[in-house]
Amino acid sequence: MRTDIEERALRLAEYITEHRATVRAAAKQFGISKSTVHKDVTERLETLDGELYERVRALLDENKAERHIRGGMATKEKFTHIKGRA
């Protein structure tokens, strides 16, 4: 029988792959910390479901590679919005 933590890890992984979500988005959706999400999907999931782990790992690696682009776009949007109010 699986524990609650194992079930949570599987649910998180399924959510991340279905929605192509970031760790931050998954944490917000499940009401838990980013650290917990990261630990669940990078450490616990590997022993529970290797195939699902590989899919999540690939998506997390993709998100990590793109985060500087998303950050730059968010900063640009922020200052465009501020400039528009002035």
Q: Of 4, 5, 28, which Cα lies nearest the Cα of 16?
A: 28
Predicted confidence (pLDDT) at residue 6 exceeds the cutoff of 80: yes
The three-state secondary structure class of 20 is: coil
- Looking at the predicted structure, is the pLDDT value of residue 2 above 90? no
pLDDT, tens digit, 9 for 90 and up, residues 16-69:
999 999 999 999 999 999 999 999 999 999 999 999 999 999 999 998 898 888
- pTM (2 d.p.): 0.79
Q: What is the DSSP letter of 40?
A: I
- 10: number of Cβ within 10 Å: 18
Residue 12, pLDDT > 70, answer yes
Domain count, the chain: 1
* Domain housing 29: 4-85
